[in-house]
């Protein structure tokens, strides 16, 4: 049965360009947004989910995938990664995550995504079909991009060319801190940290104020062309959608007091924010719910931020946020091992998050938080056909991914790793 299904799909892969319609039949369809459909079908046409249900008519000429005994899930979305922006951690030539300078709101991760990165197939063969790839450096690191994990060019991959401005929020805390430039840690006194924090906040506020003035000047000149021409400023131009609250600022922050400061800052500056990482989010859960600030938390498999924290605080954080009514998603925060995203969610489930919520935390929730739930995150007609076909619970490590569709096309399950495995398995 399984062999037959694979054969059909193999045939179909080679013909993928000829026929753009597929039907996955006899599957357990886990829609995420609605009830599970046992023995259901999913129809894929022109890159989109055309229909889903117990019995739906197949378009003429559609390729059939018999998925008896298998389950279909929406592709997983990792909302905080560096996929495509880095290849080999220690080789700076392969890293495009950290630009020089502190304030780079105009830089785009989209520009640096390497579609041929070996990390891309490695992630997608475990069901991760969409990632947010983001820069890291400085205070305003640049703008993230949301990409599907298949495509000849980044243009083909992009779901949203820009998907938020990354802000590394200044920390007011001292203590041992890692200097990313030299990879060494250094003791920072509270007085020094406070000075740095205040300077950082001053600079940020001043930059945002410049942006607002720039916007006002632009608006004024649009009304009155007689006003002097405005000198173009790429940095300030880039800030406009964030100053207007149209686009989210992705605030990377971890400690409790820093989260509190970030929320206050966002409120006074009228920014729409999403927290990234936020290791101590569970300690300010009520505040996060009250302010309706979502959190992309992870990795779940992390050590506690404080020595006297519960040993399992990171694993329990998604459950604590869910209980408090905070909007959240789970992320791997990785590059090479984004493939482990389902196990991050599984671990959160082991430590108290209901399994259905754990699945949503890597599908529908990140799509909602990133404002793309109209296109991603569940199996619903009209959404992008990012689908994963498995032989069991995808949050379980032993489960195998049998087929992956990205934007309506079946993708190869071959990776650098499977190639090396086959080669050396056959070494005499």
Binding site for other proteins (CB under 8 A): 87-91, 118-119, 182-183, 301-304, 307-308, 310-312, 335-337, 339-340, 343, 346-347, 349-351, 395-400, 416-418, 420-421, 424-425, 427
Smallest separation, CB 250 to other proteins (Å):
24
- Using CA atoms, how far apart are residues 196 and 420, in angstroms rounded to an integer? 48
Sheet with 249-253: strands ordered across? 140-143, 165-168, 249-253, 273-277, 295-297, 328-330
Smallest separation, CB 336 to other proteins (Å):
4
Q: Which is nearer to other proteins, 55 or 183 (CB)?
A: 183
CB atoms within 10 A of CB 263: 21
Q: Which is nearer to other proteins, 15 or 397 (CB)?
A: 397
Smallest separation, CB 419 to other proteins (Å):
9
Q: Which is nearer to other proteins, 227 or 420 (CB)?
A: 420
Q: Are 131 and 337 in contact (CB under 8 A)?
A: no
Q: Residue 299: is the preceding peptide bond cis (ω within 30°)?
A: yes
Smallest separation, CB 428 to other proteins (Å):
9
Smallest separation, CB 179 to other proteins (Å):
12
Q: Which is nearer to other proteins, 50 or 341 (CB)?
A: 341
Q: Which is nearer to other proteins, 261 or 347 (CB)?
A: 347
Question: Helix (H, G, I), strand (E, B), or coil: what is residue 354?
Answer: coil
Smallest separation, CB 339 to other proteins (Å):
8
Smallest separation, CB 13 to other proteins (Å):
22
Please provide residue 265's backbone torsions phi and psi, each rounded to the nearest 5 degrees.
Answer: -60, -45
Write the Ramachandran bin of 325: left for phi over 0, alpha for psi from -120 to 50, otherwise beta. left
Rg for the chain, CA atoms, rounded: 23
Q: Which is nearer to other proteins, 28 or 119 (CB)?
A: 119
DSSP structural state of residue 170: P
Give me the DSSP letters along 197-248.
Answer: HHHHHHHHHHHHHHHHHHHHHHHHHHH-TTSPPPPP-HHHHHHHHHHTTSS-
Smallest separation, CB 308 to other proteins (Å):
5
- Using CA atoms, how far apart are residues 205 and 375, in angstroms rounded to an integer? 35
- Using CA atoms, how far apart are residues 300 and 288, in angstroms rounded to an integer? 19
Sign of the torsion formed by the C-alpha atoms of 280, 281, 286 and 288: positive
Q: Which is nearer to other proteins, 232 or 425 (CB)?
A: 425
Q: In the chain, count H helices and then E strands.
A: 13, 20
Report the chain's terminal Cα–Cα distance, integer Å: 32
Q: Which is nearer to other proteins, 171 or 340 (CB)?
A: 340
- Using CA atoms, how far apart are residues 299 and 281, in angstroms rounded to an integer? 13
Q: Which is nearer to other proteins, 224 or 307 (CB)?
A: 307
């Amino acid at each position: 049965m399984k062999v037959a299904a694979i054969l059909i799909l193999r045939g179909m892969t080679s013909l993928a360009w000829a026929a753009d319609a597929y039907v996955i039949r006899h599957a357990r369809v886990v829609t995420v947004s609605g009830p599970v459909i046992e023995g259901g079908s999913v129809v894929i046409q022109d890159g989109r989910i055309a229909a889903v249900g117990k019995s739906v008519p197949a378009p003429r000429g559609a390729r059939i995938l018999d998925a008896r005994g298998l389950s279909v899930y929406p592709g997983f979305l990792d909302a905080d990664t560096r996929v495509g922006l880095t290849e080999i951690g220690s080789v700076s030539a392969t890293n495009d995550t950290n630009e020089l300078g502190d304030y780079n709101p105009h830089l785009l991760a989209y520009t640096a995504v390497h579609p041929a990165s070996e990390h891309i197939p490695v992630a997608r063969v475990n069901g991760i079909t969409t990632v947010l790839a983001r820069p890291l450096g400085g205070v305003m690191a640049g703008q993230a991009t949301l990409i599907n994990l298949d495509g000849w060019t980044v243009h083909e991959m992009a779901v949203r060319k820009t998907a938020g401005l990354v802000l590394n929020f200044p920390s007011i805390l001292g203590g041992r801190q890692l200097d990313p430039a030299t990879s060494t840690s250094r003791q920072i006194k509270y007085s020094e940290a406070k000075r740095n924090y205040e300077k950082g906040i001053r600079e940020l506020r001043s930059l945002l104020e410049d942006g607002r003035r720039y916007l006002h000047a632009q608006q004024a000149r649009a009304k009155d062309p007689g006003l002097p021409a405005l000198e173009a400023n790429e940095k300030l131009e880039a800030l406009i959608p964030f100053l207007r609250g149209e686009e989210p600022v992705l605030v990377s922050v971890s400690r409790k007091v820093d989260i509190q400061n970030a929320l206050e800052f966002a409120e006074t500056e009228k920014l729409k924010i999403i927290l990234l990482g936020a290791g101590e989010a569970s300690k300010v859960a009520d505040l996060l719910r009250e302010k309706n600030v979502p959190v992309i938390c992870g990795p779940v498999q992390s050590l506690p931020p404080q020595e006297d924290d519960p040993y399992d605080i990171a694993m329990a954080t998604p459950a604590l946020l869910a209980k408090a009514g905070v909007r959240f998603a789970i992320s791997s925060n990785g590059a090479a091992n984004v493939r482990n995203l389902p196990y991050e969610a599984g671990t959160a489930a082991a430590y108290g998050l209901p399994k259905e919520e754990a699945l949503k935390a890597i599908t529908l929730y990140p799509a909602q938080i990133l404002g793309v739930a109209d296109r991603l995150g569940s199996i619903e007609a009209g959404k992008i056909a990012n689908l994963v076909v498995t032989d069991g619970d995808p949050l379980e490590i032993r489960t195998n991914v049998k087929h992956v569709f990205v934007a309506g096309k079946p993708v190869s399950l071959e990776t650098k790793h499977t190639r090396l495995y086959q080669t050396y398995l056959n070494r005499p």
